[in-house]
Amino acid sequence: MWCDNCCLFCPLRAGGSVYAAFLALYQIAGAILLFRFGDFFFFHYPEAQIYGGYAAAQGVMASLMVIAFSNKNYMWTRVCFRLYPIIVFLGAVRAGIMAWELDNFKSNIVWECQNGGLLWQPEDKRNQQPDQYDPTKDHKRTMPMGFCDAGVDRFTAFFTTCLVIDFVLMLYLLFLIWRFYIRLRHFPMQPGKYDAYD
């Protein structure tokens, strides 16, 4: 017999709603951080924007799942169940690429930390016209120095761990939406007989 709400304190529908809302909030917060500071860690434009857009898409999908769980809506549940495996697969690919990039471009992040949090620039651009090149003028934003204070190695290890945890959380949400979808298929909503979903 399948566990409908494994690791949740609430029944499937209520627990799924709360869990999906939590994922939506933290994914949207992650998207905002990537849009704002991502180019300090991912140096090929528009990498940071792509990763931020993907996190925003995850947040939107989790919000749709909140609607599906809350309204007991078969159509939205089916849409989420069909689309979310694609999001999860892309999440695994994204996590791998981001972890690889962070590991391979640590020296760029170190350079930013050593130069007051300025955005990294290729050496040829820095040395091309030294009289006219003013990094503080070209890049008004600076990286929060808290990242540097934590240490680049520690920060990249922490970020990679968070990517793995994020992937596990997505897998669990996929499991919950699958269980809810199966319930709706096998036990269509009937007046007075839907208490088991609450």
Asked if residue 177 lies in contact with residue 77, where contact means CB atoms within 8 angstroms, the answer is yes
List Cα–Cα distances, 97 to 100, 105, 168, in angstroms: 5, 12, 17
The CA R_g of the chain, rounded to the nearest whole Å, is 21
Amino acid at 102: L
Q: Does residue 99 belong to any structural domain of this protein? A: yes
Predicted pLDDT of residue 136: 47
Q: What is the mean pLDDT of residues 31-50?
A: 86
Q: Does residue 18 belong to any structural domain of this protein? A: yes
> What are 49-88's pLDDT values in tens digits?
899 999 999 999 999 999 888 888 788 888 888 999 999 9
Spatial CA neighbour of 6 closest among 169, 167, 172: 172
Q: Which residue has the higher pLDDT, 176 or 1?
A: 176
> What are 145-195's pLDDT values in tens digits?
777 777 788 888 888 898 999 999 999 989 888 888 888 877 655 444 444
Give the burial class of 86: count Cβ atoms within 10 A of its Cβ; 0-12 exposed, 13-18 middle, 19 or more buried.
Answer: exposed
CA distance 114 to 1: 57
Count of structural domains within the chain: 1
Predicted pLDDT of residue 137: 47
Which uninterrupted H or E stretch holds 36? helix 12-37
Return all residues near 169 (Cβ < 8 A) that are at least 6 apart. 23
Q: Which domain covers residue 169, as residue numbers? A: 13-104+157-187
Predicted pLDDT of residue 116: 77
Strands (E), 4-137: none
CA distance 58 to 166: 11
List Cα–Cα distances, 131 to 114, 127, 139, in angstroms: 21, 9, 16
Which of these ranges, 14-18, 59-63, 140-144, 161-165, has the smallest mean pLDDT?
140-144
> What are 94-111's pLDDT values in tens digits?
989 988 988 888 888 888
